[in-house]
Structure 1
Amino acid sequence: MSATAPLQVDHPRLSDRAALLDEAPLVQGKDDFRSLTDKVAGIVLSKRPPGWLVLLCLAISILFILAGSLVHLVGTGIGIWGLNTTVNWAWDITGFVFWVGIGHAGTLISAILFLFRQKWRTSINRAAEAMTIFAVACAAIYPVAHLGRIWFAHWLFPIPNQMSLWPNFKSPLLWDVFAVSTYATVSTLFWFVGLIPDLATIRDRATTRTKQIVFGILSLGWRGSHRHWLHYEKAYLIFAGLSTPLVLSVHTIVSFDFAVSIVPGWHTTIFPPYFVAGAIFSGFAMVVTLMVFARKAFGLEGLITMRHLENMNKVIVATGTMVGYAYGMELFIAWYSGNGYEQFAFRNRILGPYAWAYWTMVSCNVIFPQLFWFKKVRTSIPAMFIISILVNIGMWFERFVIIVTSLHRDFLPSSWTYFRPTIWDISTFFGSFGLFFTLFLLFVRYLPMVAISEVKGVTAAADPHGSHSNDEAHHAA
């Protein structure tokens, strides 16, 4: 072949490069390393935007609703909720499972996608990790509040006490205490370790003495040396390895709250994978909801691109399909088992007094997410925003349907009842959103919401052969 002969299109390496060029880049625009750092660090170091302050005041006002509800709850007792002898779990455990599920997407994006070397995670992992911590904080409200006498919460832990009371380690509720607390601890450490290089960047760019001291302490003396990077990458890999089984185990253990019981509608072996898929489903929906707003509010459309949003929508339709399969399999198992009580529980869900909740669940979790099979829908900002909200509405109804419809008509028809929430059920759950959004708004304002060091690694400037790839692709065409 002569020196001037054109390159052949069927060259395998060249074909791969050309195919990659057809994909939307992970970072759009003409940002170099410096401008990318300026854009993300500028959110933390710039003056407070007025729109952010308005949203923060709104979130704090909702948080006050939660505080007032909890104060009244502690002073009066859980009788202020709509619970009764038959339905002794309702909005409290529904809210707990809902918020634990929301927290799954962050660790999945950070840990599992990191281990699988999925580079599209880099722009959204930081915010998703923070969302995990805040969601677990919201979930922690419910088991503590449900104790009634929360000043005895320390009895849950195996510590010596004067009455020789010990936790019942056979109870799945106690398994929750250890699973969720371990998940929260590892997720917080994982999030903080990933923040260290970017905290040092903020420290070096800070113009006030207070910020220099605060970020200097938080960055743990980071200088960006080769030794620091080696230790950082090892620690990040270790935490990713620890977090990966936690993603699967935490919601599996939460599902044991129901699956190890003998209540019809709960006693089923499909609950662990079903709950894990549902948690990832709702968690990714919440990430989409938040990222649609955040990228627009802070001008990060070039970093959090349509490719990131579309990939998350693909995960939503995949996990939504798993959840729909689980719904169908539950009905099949009830029929195939020949157990009359089990069959009645599912007929009651579909046709009974709570049929409206069941069909709301099916519509939001099974039907609407299937629209993401169409590229025009999963790349439409209004469509994905609406569907992501519907998914979380549906996932709340899923937990409500599982809990309440299995309890309100038990083995004794004389004890059948209809659960109606009181204003305190509603205000406690509504107020938990105030806690979540208050923490999230503080995070996006005072900490780098995008992992600067990781995003730089997927930019065109980080590819030493980027310009050659373009030339080769041009000759190949």
Structure 2
Amino acid sequence: MNSSKITSDLLPKKFGKAGFVWTALLVVLCLIGLYGYYRQVTLGLGVTGMRDYASWGIYISNFVFFVAISLVGSLITAIFRLAGAEWRTPITRISEIIAVSSILFASIIIIVDMGRPERFYHLFFYGRLQSPIMWDVIVITTYLTISVLFLYFPLLPDIPILIKNSKPGSFVQKIYKFLGSFWIGTAAQFKISENAIKIISVMIIPIALAIHTVTSWLFATTYRPGWDSTNFGAYFVSGAFLVGAGGVVVAMYVFRKAYQLEAYITDKHFNNMSKIVVMLALLYLYFNINEYLVPAFKMKKAEEHHLHSLFMGDFALLFWSAIILGMIVPIIVLLFPKGRKPVPAFLMGVLVVVGAWFKRFLIVTPTMLSPFLPMYDVPESYKHYMPTWEEWAITIGSLAGTLLIITIFTRLFPIIPIHETIEEMEHSKQETV
């Protein structure tokens, strides 16, 4: 396979009919979400299902999910790059754009949850470092900045290729020239870029661990049943790596089918990523056992109500489905070589991602409905939480917005690095000779 063939295969393609339908669907879902948010801003948080006790709902569940799946950028790109895993190349940019789009909407969904968006600037002008919420603001802002740089720097060598193969004077070419106006492709520039990527690779790993650890502290520093745990940091981080790896497997399959990338995203990539998913699912299952075994052994009164609601109560079906379908079934299927083929791996990735979203919902809602002080003399609606259509619209709209960013990105930029792929091909030829 020569360089011209690689370039033509990996250049971004124009949308076909299916692409336009997919994009239109995402735009419609985003607009419905915006209308739901308009109603929430004008009418207040009373349009949601949140009340005095369940003051956090699917917005916070969605926030934790976005933060979790964003860790895939550091897992795939930084850790694998530093480890010298050469097979990572076709999936690095996939993981990077997932990370950037997810952390961006994690920030947006927090503003939605505030109820009073005009007070958002208070976090920056009147923030107090004693507050764990301020820690989260700092680490999310830092992680978003580094993730954008981590996406941008490896993209630079592809910019001249994109300029050369785009229509002269077109809007798209102007975007390319703006982004890569300073990039000439000299040896000095490549050396600076490589050093910058190495530095960011080292920096992003502790920041990635910090972002989900700090998010877990928002819960753990709040004195409530189910959150009063020193296990929460490791519990959140392990779950984040799992959903991130599952999300990459899903994205690999979708891009492979949509852009005919079978020659670049091969069975080897699905096999390797599936093994990683198994390892991370076992790790997350271990921390889940830790999370529930110790409180179940002590069985404090408030913890008893919380655990009963999860294991046998109102949330039991959701809880056991998330555990069995989101962790145990993927482990069993992906342990076998046939299960690590593209189609079964894709299906297991979907189970991991969907199970992870509902697992975040189970971290938030059952705890809010299991306060240390029992609920007396309150309306019946306070004892339950059911999201309203506005909440569902905003939540689905935010998920659609994440996918829309990824979709637009793949229309403008190669989802597999062209220059890096050509370099690897030439390097392998030299080794063969």
TM-score (norm 2): 0.94
Alpha-carbon shift at residue 283 of structure 1 (Å): 1.3
The residue type paired with residue 361 of structure 1 is A
Q: Cα deviations across residues 256-285 of structure 1 (Å, max 9, x unaligned)?
A: 111112211101111111111111111121
Task: Compare CA radii of gyration and give the structure with the larger one.
Answer: 1
Root-mean-square deviation (CA, aligned residues, Å) is: 1.7
Asked if 1:456 is matched to 2:417, the reply is no
1:86-121 CA distances to partner (integer Å, 9 max, x unpaired)?
111111100100111111112221111111111111
* Over 6 Å off, 4+ runs: none
Amino acid at match of 2:58: W
**Residue 18 of structure 1 aligns with which residue?**
none
Tell whether the 8 Å contact from 1:251 to 1:279 is kept in structure 2 after alignment. Answer: yes
Structure 1 CA distance for aligned equivalents of residues 226 and 278 of structure 2: 26
Give the residue type in structure 2 aligned to 1:382: V
Provide the secondary structure at the position in 1 that maps to 2:424: coil
The answer to whether the Cα contact below 8 Å between 1:456 and 1:462 also exists between their aligned partners in 2 is: no
Q: Which residue of 2 aligns with 1:87?
A: 54
CA deviations 1:21-43 (Å, max 9, x no partner) are xxxxxxxxxx22221122112x2
Extract unaligned runs of 5+ from structure 2: none
Structure 2 contact 153–193 (Cα < 8 Å) conserved:
yes
CA distance in 1, matches of 2:358, 2:393: 17
| One-letter amino acid matched to 1:272 | G
The one-letter code sitting in structure 2 at the alignment partner of 1:89 is W
Unaligned runs of 5+ in 1: 1-30, 160-165, 468-477
Residue 182 of structure 1 aligns with an amino acid whose one-letter code is T
The amino acid of 1:377's aligned partner reads G
Match of 2:399 among 433, 455, 463: 433
Distance apart, 1:337 and its partner CA: 4.2
How many aligned residue pairs are there? 426
Quick check: 1:218 aligned with 2:179? yes
Aligned residues of 2:77 and 2:201 also touching (Cα < 8 A): yes
| Structure 2 CA distance for aligned equivalents of residues 266 and 274 of structure 1 | 11
Residues 370-414 of structure 1: per-residue CA shift (max 9 Å, x gap): 1110110111x3322222111112111211111111121222142
Choose from 71, 76, 92 the match for 2:43: 76
Instruction: Please name the residue that 1:255 is paired with.
Output: 216
SS in 1 for 2:90: coil
Query: Residue in 1 aligned with 2:25?
Result: 58
User: Which residue number in structure 1 is paired with residue 113 of structure 2?
Assistant: 146
Q: Which residue of 1 aligns with 2:360?
A: 399
Q: 2:351 aligns with which of 390, 403, 409?
A: 390
Answer whether contact 2:33 2:390 (CA < 8 A) is retained.
Answer: no
Give a deviation string over 1:170-215, Cα, whole Å, max 9, x none: 2222211111111111100111111111012111232322344331
CA contact (8 A) 2:296 2:307 kept: no
- For the pair 1:32 / 2:6, whether they are aligned, the reply is no
**Partner of residue 317, structure 1:** 278
How does 1:288-367 map onto structure 2 within 5 Å? 288-337=249-298, 339-367=300-328
Structure 2 CA distance, aligned partners of 1:448 and 1:87? 44
Percent identical residues: 27
Counterpart AA for 2:5:
S
Change (3 A) 1:338 1:73: closer
CA distance in 2, matches of 1:229, 1:97: 37
Q: Deviations over 1:278-319 (max 9, x none)?
A: 111111211211221111111111111111122111111111
Task: Give the counterpart letter for 1:439 in structure 2.
Answer: I
Counterpart position of 1:67: 34
2:337 corresponds to 1:375 = yes
Q: Distance in 2 between matches of 1:150 and 1:172?
A: 20
CA 1:286/1:75 → structure 2, altered by over 3 Å: closer, same or farther?
same
Give the structure 2 partner of residue 16 of structure 1: none
Select the residue among 249, 266, 271 that pairs with 2:232. Answer: 271
Looking at structure 1, the residues matched to 173 and 383 of structure 2 have their Cα atoms a distance apart, in angstroms, of 60
CA deviation after TM superposition for structure 1 residue 461, in Å: 5.4
Q: Displacement of 1:336 after TM fit?
A: 4.3
What SS class does the counterpart of residue 353 from structure 1 fall into? coil
Distance 1:426 1:136 in 2: 20
What is the CA–CA distance in structure 1 between the aligned matches of 2:301 and 2:29, rounded to whole Å? 45
Work out which of the residue numbers 174, 190, 194 in structure 1 matches 2:154. Answer: 194
SS where residue 383 of structure 2 aligns? coil
Residue 83 of structure 1 deviates from its aligned partner by: 0.5
Report the Cα distance in structure 2 between the residues aligned to 1:434 and 1:64, rounded to whole angstroms: 10
Aligned-partner residue type, residue 412 of structure 1: P
